[in-house]
Amino acid sequence: MFGSLERIEEIRRADRPRLYDDVFGAMDYAARQSLLAGHSVVYDAQQTKCEDRRGIEKIAEETGAIPVLVWIKTSREVALKRGQEREVRNDSHQYDGEKMARLIDRFDSVTDLPQSDENVVEISGEVPFEEQFEAFNAFVASLQKAEK
């Protein structure tokens, strides 16, 4: 949407609220329109705050969709390693161990754990994609079965 990590960082420094308003406003609009057209949507974002997840749930409710929170969990050690070893691309940074540890700590401190009324599927971030996808599909199938 902004072309590069550098441009995102410029906007984040100059007007952080605008960055998030623009990004999530566009994502909300696209999700709502896609759902109204009868398509499934994957809203790929770190939604650490319950109030933000409630906004997505409202979009789902208004369009007749079922919201599912995918909670991908991994150990601190694996997260540290991945942040230091991942490939630097236009959409991802690579950090040293100290900065990665600070980011993980900050993320942990601001994250609201899922509530009992949220449709949550917990997936291990340390297993192959096929197993993750299987867990997700099994959870969605159980929701669909419960609806009938």
Assigned domain for 108 exists: no
Is the pLDDT at 31 greater than 90, yes or no?
A: yes
Is pTM, for the whole model, over 0.95?
no
Domain count of the fold of the chain: 1
For residue 44, the enclosing domain spans 1-62
Assigned domain for 34 exists: yes
Q: What pLDDT sits at residue 121?
A: 95
Assigned domain for 130 exists: no
Assigned domain for 2 exists: yes
Assigned domain for 74 exists: no
Assigned domain for 84 exists: no
Over 110-132, what HEC string results?
HCCCCCCCCCEEEEECCCCHHHH
Q: Give the model confidence (pLDDT) of 122-147 as tens digits.
A: 999 999 999 999 999 999 999 888 88
DSSP state of 26: H
Assigned domain for 70 exists: no
Q: What pLDDT sits at residue 6?
A: 82
Assigned domain for 8 exists: yes
Is the pLDDT at 104 greater than 90, yes or no?
A: yes
